[in-house]
Amino acid sequence: MATTSGSAADFVEFDGGFAARKILGGFGNIDEGAINLPGDAYTGVSLRTWDPDKSRRSIYWPDSRRPGYLFPPVHGSFAKGVGTFYGDDSFKGRPIRIRLTWSRIAEQSARWEQAFSLDEGNNWETNWYMDFTRV
């Protein structure tokens, strides 16, 4: 299950599915899947890498809405069972800071959240979260 919103007040629930596998001898993983957003379904790919020299992970995202475009990466790490990743992008022509969070990680499930900040990370609005269940 996933939800997204245009604002904090109007979340929309929808389904989708992803298949993941390890790459680079375990230094990364990749998943590809469907996001069945009502009226705007698309496919996407998460490419996650581990840089042992910097002790950080990076996440890259291309999707079928803009084939050939690679969204700016986010970088971060896991601490106490929560992964937090930050990056810079733009939204509707405005520069934003992005925060992705992986939490509630268990053997069969996890939660992913996306938040945007318009003020360099002083305030955050969560605008998307996905609850993953392993099948």
Model pLDDT for residues 13-57, shown as the tens digit of each residue: 999 999 999 999 999 999 999 999 999 999 999 999 999 999 999
For residues 13-34, one letter each, b for 16 or more C-beta atoms within 10 angstroms of the residue's C-beta and e for the rest, the string is ebebeeeeeeeeeeebbbebee
Q: What is d(CA 68, CA 64) in angstroms, rounded to the nearest whole number?
A: 9
Query: Pick the residue with more confidence: 134 or 48?
Result: 48
Number of domains in the chain: 1
Instruction: Please give the biggest Cα pair distance in the chain.
Output: 43
Domain of 66 in residue numbering reads as: 2-133
**Whole-model pTM above 0.85?**
yes
pLDDT at 1 over 50: no
Q: Give the least confident one: 7-21, 57-71, 82-96, 110-124.
A: 7-21
